[in-house]
Amino acid sequence: MNTSTSQCRYVTVNPDNHHLAIATGPIPEPGPGEVLIKVHSAGLNRADLLQRRGLYPPPEDASPVMGLEVAGTVEAVGANAGKWLPGDKVCALTHGGGYAEYAVAPAGQCLPIPSGFSKGEAAALPEALLTIWHNLFQRAKLQSTEKVLIHGGASGIGTLGIMMCATMGAEVYTTAGTDEKCRALEGRGAKRAINYKTEDFEAVLTEMGLKNRINVILDMIGGDYIQKNINVAAPEGRIVNIAFMNGFKAEVNFAPLLMKRITLTGSTLRAQSFAQKTAMVEEIMTHIFPHLESGEIKPVIDSIYPLEQVEQAHGHMEGGQHMGKIILRM
């Protein structure tokens, strides 16, 4: 390993007050099927905010350090790490540990950095790419020419999802919290972006003649959106929940579920096996990576914070004013 020190910096959480700090510890070592990445940039995700507060504990075999996606350079490889070699430029979905100068990732969860992408842009890809691909294309089986509604369109997942769906031929609708964000999302492929603070998305879609015509819905909001999603969904519609920011509970009339034969499903990425995530990466490399290489799909970067300002980066995400991904730079 070509490192001048056996130590690296990483982010730690005070369990009493949940404050973040920088600590120093040993550089992790890659095991079989793993690569060690010298991290240049790491992406922030709402799961990090929950983990910080003890509400989303990492799996027992995962790193306790926050951080689910990174970009950098392969420093070392374990046995059976496939095609990856030291010096390769990669972005990766980690099993935790991304808020650090060095992180380990399963070899099957690494992707090459697309041409023309900075490492900061590449760090915005893994979590959103796999989340969108799995939920909209694997689970909901979104087809070209179908209509898709993506809630939380200004998030990292939302912004990339809009571009992915539009590039794959779907007609995209979305929701966001300001008129400025809505217009920006329409510029990135959404046919209509709805300001959820001043408009009711069910009413808007109904006025547009789209009630009962939305084929696929990706929802991270929950709460009263659950009923509204069912109401606007088309016959044979598929609704996928990936979070419930407005609450896990709601009073719902499920009768339309029967009449319209709606599929209601959901998932979290972290709970799935390495084999499942490797399969997602392989499909993304086939269907989406060429559009990343061509520049048709590119993540929206809201801001980049140095590692020492991780507390401020989290505060910015909690404030909800961002659009696209927030990145940590090592």
Q: Which of 300, 318, 319, 297 is nearest to 163 (CA)?
A: 297
Q: Where are the domains of the chain?
A: 7-125+299-329, 131-266
Contact call for residues 92 and 149 (beta carbons, < 8 A): no
Q: Which of 255, 216, 221 is nearest to 232 (CA)?
A: 216
pLDDT at residue 241, rounded to an integer = 98
Q: Which of 25, 10, 155 is nearest to 97 (CA)?
A: 10
Cβ-in-10-Å burial (0-12, 13-18, 19+) of 286 comes to exposed
State which fold the 131-266 domain adopts: Rossmann fold (3.40.50)
Per-residue pLDDT of the chain (330 residues; tens, 9 = 90+): 544 468 999 999 999 999 999 999 999 999 999 999 999 999 999 999 999 999 999 999 999 999 999 999 999 999 999 999 999 999 999 999 999 999 999 999 999 999 999 999 999 999 999 999 999 999 999 999 999 999 999 999 999 999 999 999 999 999 999 999 999 999 999 999 999 999 999 999 999 999 999 999 999 999 999 999 999 999 999 999 999 999 999 999 999 999 999 999 999 999 999 999 999 999 999 999 999 999 999 999 999 999 999 999 999 999 999 999 999 999
Output the six-digit token pair for 40.
Answer: 């240049």
What is the number of other CB atoms lying within 10 angstroms of the CB of residue 87? 9
Q: Are strands 325-329 and 301-306 parallel, antiparallel or unpaired?
A: parallel
Amino acid in position 107 = A
How distant, in Å, are the alpha carbons of 15, 112, 136, 137, 231 from that of 164?
Answer: 38, 18, 10, 10, 25
Strand-pair partners of 220: none
**Angle of the 156-167 helix axis to the 179-186 helix axis, nearest 10:** 30
Amino acid in position 319 = G
How distant, in Å, are the alpha carbons of 8, 73, 78, 85, 286 from that of 124?
Answer: 22, 15, 25, 22, 19
Q: Are strands 325-329 and 34-43 parallel, antiparallel or unpaired?
A: antiparallel
Output the six-digit token pair for 254.
Answer: 């499920």
Domain 7-125+299-329 and domain 131-266 have a common topology? no
Strand-pair partners of 105: 35
Among the four given CATH numbers 3.90.180.10, 3.40.630.10, 3.40.50.300, 3.40.190.10, the one describing domain 7-125+299-329: 3.90.180.10
Phi, psi of 158 (to 5 degrees): -65, -50
